Amino acid sequence: MSRIVQKYGGTSVGDVERIKKVADRIRLTINEGHQVVAVVSARAGVTNELIARAREITLQPSEREMDMLLSVGEQETIALTALALHELGVPAVSFTGAQAGIQTDTIHTKAKIQAINADAVEAQLRAGRAVIIAGFQGVNEHGHITTFGRGGSDLSAIAIASALKADRCEIYTDVDGVYTADPRVVTAAQKLEEISYDEMLELASSGSKVMQSRSVEFAHKHKVVFEVRSSFNFNRGTIVKEEVPQMEKVVVRGVAVDRDQAKVIVSNIMDKPGSAAKVFQAMADATIVVDMIVQNVGRNGIANLTFTVPLGDTLKAQKALEPVLDELGGGHVAVHENIAKLSVVGVGMKTHSGVAADLFRALADADVNIDMITTSEIKISVVVDQDKADDAARAVHTAFGLDAR
């Protein structure tokens, strides 16, 4: 008998009819002879409704109380899912995060899981019941409810799979798996059968939003193999697992485009030690995450600093830079929002040379200008004109032999 942890997201349990379908899917898995633990999210929309109600009261809500408030969304779903299972004749019991023994630190709204005491869940599984657990939530040492922030239910599922030493962890969502590129843009994109944690992480941080990076990192750290698949059909999904030598044969696993970045250019500053440090300290103080950085120094000792920030942070960045420029004795700030970051990702890059050259040639052939470049061990990212991003993605996808045959 295998032990399987399944996670169903907000659209998968969006209404009573969908919840019934999820229950039927759990039933089918149990009928195949497996033990099932299902982690469920709040019904799609419920969390936003609750947030809207809180906003009517205050614009600066206590994070502890927001956790108390938002955790009800998942609690409703677990009860309804358990009822739907009973109606199908399947013994089942629901647990809140606290009841499931998910212990976290005390940081409300973005708590980290510290330990899972799975005794209660184990006992229910041994008694032959499916266990339905509220995702996104846990309890801290003071007995207060905590939540994990966006994508938190994935984290719950992976942590529970780890604690229960589950044989499989299935993340059900509204897409069929992880693709070589966004199929809405690149029609020749293919679903990947498997992908390494590192590749998945780089894709996630490059704009491919199947899962939050945090959950993938947690899975990697605890060596939890999981499958991303759709709750709307029975197709196999994509297995996310530790890198194996076999994987290096593929140079580029996927192409991602991130349109949520803006470019900040700080020009005409004196090229002296500490200038760049002052600029990025200002960004850090303003809690702005800087992604790509390029520095050019001209002959006259005047430097230009170009970097990317999240699109929503451009105003904040400009404001934070003003005092820095004063301090540096001049300079100019410009923001370009009409950009996109295109990334190619693959563990094969570690052992293959010439990937950058192939990428640049493909872009040149497609008449796409390259603005900034960064590379990591398994990723190359370039900034391009946002209007050219789709063409660029298709050209690169073809060039690296990723198109479906």
One of 4, 5, 13, 19 touching its own copies (CB under 8 A):
19
Task: Report 140-169 residues binding its own copies (CB under 8 A).
Answer: 143-145
**Closer by beta carbon to its own copies, 79 or else 373:** 79
Q: Give 316-335 as a DSSP string.
A: HHHHHHHHHHHHHT--EEEE
Window of 3-11, 72-80, 370-378, 384-392 that interacts with its own copies by CB under 8 A = 72-80
The one-character DSSP state at 1 is -
CA distance 315 to 100: 43
CA distances from 72 to 17, 136, 138, 208, 351 (A): 20, 11, 12, 29, 49
Work out whether 54 is an interface residue with its own copies (CB under 8 A).
yes
Binding residues for its own copies, rule CB under 8 A, total: 36
CA distances from 227 to 18, 81, 231, 404 (A): 21, 22, 12, 21
**Closer by beta carbon to its own copies, 83 or else 294:** 83
Work out whether 116 is an interface residue with its own copies (CB under 8 A).
no
**Closer by beta carbon to its own copies, 89 or else 301:** 89
Does residue 332 come out as left (phi exceeding 0), alpha (psi in the -120 to 50 range) or beta?
beta
Token pair, residue 371, equals 């603005």
Work out whether 93 is an interface residue with its own copies (CB under 8 A).
yes
Q: Minimal distance in Å, beta carbon 122 to its own copies?
A: 14
Work out whether 82 is an interface residue with its own copies (CB under 8 A).
yes
Window of 1-9, 46-54, 111-119, 189-197 that interacts with its own copies by CB under 8 A = 46-54
Work out whether 56 is an interface residue with its own copies (CB under 8 A).
yes
| 3-class SS letters over 279-319 | HHHHHHHCCCCCCCEEEEECCCCEEEEEEEEEHHHHHHHHH
Work out whether 104 is an interface residue with its own copies (CB under 8 A).
no
Q: Using an 8 Å Cβ cutoff, are 91 and 148 in contact?
A: no
CA distance 271 to 194: 46
Q: Using an 8 Å Cβ cutoff, are 1 and 36 in contact?
A: no
Closest CA to 271 of 227, 328, 310: 328
Task: Report 290-309 residues binding its own copies (CB under 8 A).
Answer: none
Window of 67-75, 247-255, 288-296, 317-325 that interacts with its own copies by CB under 8 A = 67-75
Window of 86-94, 199-207, 213-221, 305-313 that interacts with its own copies by CB under 8 A = 86-94
The site for its own copies (CB under 8 A) is made up of 16, 19-20, 50, 53-54, 56-58, 61-62, 64-66, 68-69, 71-72, 75-76, 78-80, 82-84, 86-87, 93-94, 96, 99, 120, 143-145
